[in-house]
């Protein structure tokens, strides 16, 4: 069981204290004092490993099922003995330009916080270290932990959105640069792949707006009544992130449309050039075909200057067509 427990500690008066090694005894101690709470962090527990925890903390079976199976949308659910929230931290890999969404489940009750992490993107260790350095914040109990986790996840959204903005600017430069190969199919593939990453980001950040807005309002059980301004701040940051993501998605659609239009224009230019050269080749071919039929009654076949005259006619016709196509921009 200890393999899945990342950390387990009792916090009293905003400070970490030593407690029993068994989390069941630690929870009893936290509840007995009345001014303390237990924070236990789990990483990808199995059903058997989590059964003991859920029984001790009285977690609702539906919330436990969601925490074990993962693959949940961000949401907030209130049960009789606990509050359950799902967040989706994102990880951005600049080398491969990929966005990966992990999952983080948070249970808070009267004297406990249980966090269940799936993946490697949840910033819980940094949150715990930051909170332990701010005892005035930790004095607010489990609500402070829920706020700090939400704030850290949303702040990381802002960083990822900024990285995607930079990558989009580079992609626009590649597509619209005269020497950047804007008319290549590789650019279309990059735009589509980038759009998939933005969609993954949008699935993580978009649905979180409703839970955070609910936490910023009054009357949510297990949430400290004076915490609303802090959750409103998180909600404001999340709104800004969602606006950035929507802007990225719209810009990508515009870039893709412009790129396809570029491809169409380039193909038309290529087709006009091919048609122009085909027309210039057709004139001498036609003349050569006429004089290659070897009819007896073709008086010019016996003229002395017939051959150079026909050659000059071919050259003149081709030169005239070349000047015409050049003036009209086909060549």
284 with 213: CB under 8 angstroms? no
Q: 37-46, 148-157, 269-278 — which is least confidently predicted?
A: 269-278
Is the domain of 246 the same as that of 268? no
Same domain, yes or no: 219 and 185: yes
What is the mean pLDDT of the segment spanning 236-242? 94
281 and 239 together in one domain: no
- Whether 2 has a pLDDT exceeding 60, the answer reads no
Domain around 277: 263-327
Phi, psi angles (nearest 5°) of residue 69: -80, -25
Choose between 259 and 112: higher pLDDT.
112
Residues in the chain: 331
Domain boundary among 213, 233, 262: 262
Give the C-alpha separation, 245 to 228, whole Å: 25
Same domain, 150 and 233: yes
Q: Mark whether 19 and 102 lie in a shared domain.
A: yes
Residues 6+ apart with CB under 8 A from 166: none
**What pLDDT score was predicted for residue 331?**
67
Among 205, 227, 262, which residue terminates a domain?
Answer: 262
Q: Is the pLDDT reported for residue 179 higher than 60? A: no
Closest CA to 269 of 183, 189, 177: 183
| Amino acid 301: pLDDT | 67
CATH for 91? 3.30.460.20
Is residue 327's pLDDT more than 70?
Answer: yes
Q: What is the mean pLDDT of residues 225-229?
A: 86
Using 50, 70 and 90 to split pLDDT, how confident is the model at 20? low
Going by the DSSP 8-state scheme, the letter that residue 102 receives in this structure is -
Return the structure tokens found at 50. 């989590």
Mean pLDDT of 258-281: 75
Give the per-residue pLDDT at 206.
92
181 and 109 in one domain?
yes
Structure token digits, residue 137: 């914040």
Angle at 244 between CA 239 and CA 246, to 5 degrees: 95
**pLDDT, tens digit (0-9, with 9 covering 90-100), for 76-111:** 999 988 999 999 999 888 777 788 889 999 999 988
Query: Token pair 């606006």 is at which residue?
Result: 243
* pLDDT for residue 156 is more than 50: yes
Q: Do both 291 and 256 map to the same domain? A: no
Q: What is the CATH number of the domain that holds 312?
A: 1.20.58.340
The residues with which 41 forms a beta bridge, in sequence order, are: 7, 115
pLDDT for 194 beyond 80: yes
d(CA 285, CA 307): 15
Shared domain for 134 and 219, answered yes or no, is yes
**What's the pLDDT at 182?**
47
Say whether both 273 and 171 belong to one domain: no
**Using CA atoms, how far apart are residues 167 and 133, in angstroms rounded to an integer?**
35
Task: For residues 233 and 207, give the distance between their C-alpha atoms in angstroms, rounded to a whole number.
Answer: 17
- Structural domains in the chain (count): 2
Rg (CA), the chain: 35
Residue, of 85 and 71, whose pLDDT is higher: 85
Indicate if 127 and 91 belong to the same structural domain.
Answer: yes
Residue 95 CB partners (closer than 8 Å, separation 6+)? none
For residues 208 and 225, the model is more confident at 208
Residues 22 and 82 in one domain: yes
Whole-angstrom distance, CA of residue 277 vs CA of residue 291: 22
> Which residue, 218, 236, 262, sits at the end of a domain?
262
Please say whether the beta carbons of 39 and 15 come within 8 A: no
pLDDT value at 183 more than 60: no
The token pair that represents 106 in the structure block: 């948070």
Predicted confidence band at 239 (pLDDT cuts at 50, 70, 90)? very high
295 in the same domain as 252 = no
Task: Report d(CA 41, CA 30) in Å as an integer.
Answer: 16
Sheet strand arrangement including 15-17:
15-17, 5-12, 36-43, 112-118, 103-108, 83-87, 75-78
Pair type for strands 36-43 and 112-118:
parallel
């Amino acid at each position: 069981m200890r393999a899945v427990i990342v950390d387990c500690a009792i916090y009293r008066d905003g400070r970490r204290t030593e407690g029993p090694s068994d989390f069941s005894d630690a929870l009893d101690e936290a509840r007995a004092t009345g001014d303390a709470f237990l924070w236990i962090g789990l990483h990808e527990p199995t059903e058997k490993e989590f059964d003991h925890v859920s029984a001790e903390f009285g977690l609702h079976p539906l919330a436990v099922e969601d925490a074990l199976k993962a693959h949940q949308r961000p949401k907030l659910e209130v049960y009789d003995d606990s509050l359950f929230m799902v967040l989706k931290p994102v990880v951005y890999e600049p080398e491969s330009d990929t966005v990966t969404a992990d999952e983080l489940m948070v249970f808070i009750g009267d004297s406990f916080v249980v966090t269940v992490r799936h993946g490697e993107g949840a910033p819980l260790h940094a949150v715990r270290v930051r909170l332990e350095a701010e005892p005035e914040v930790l004095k607010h109990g489990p609500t402070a932990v829920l706020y700090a986790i939400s704030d850290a996840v949303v702040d990381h959204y802002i960083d990822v959105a900024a990285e995607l903005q930079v990558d989009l600017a580079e992609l626009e430069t590649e597509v619209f640069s005269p020497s950047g190969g804007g008319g290549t199919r590789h650019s279309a593939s990059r735009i589509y792949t980038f759009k998939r990453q933005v969609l993954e980001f949008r699935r993580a950040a978009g649905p979180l707006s409703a839970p955070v807005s609910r936490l910023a309002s009054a009357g949510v059980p297990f949430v400290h009544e004076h915490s609303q301004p802090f959750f409103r701040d998180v909600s404001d940051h999340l709104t800004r992130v969602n606006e950035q993501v929507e802007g990225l998605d719209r810009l990508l659609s515009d870039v893709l449309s412009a790129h396809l239009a570029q491809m169409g224009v380039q193909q038309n230019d290529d087709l006009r050039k091919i048609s122009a050269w085909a027309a210039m080749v057709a004139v001498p071919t036609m003349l050569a075909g006429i004089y290659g039929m070897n009819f007896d009654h073709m008086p010019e076949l016996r003229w002395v200057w017939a051959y150079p005259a026909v050659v000059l006619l071919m050259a003149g016709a081709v030169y005239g067509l070349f000047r015409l196509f050049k003036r009209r921009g086909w060549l």
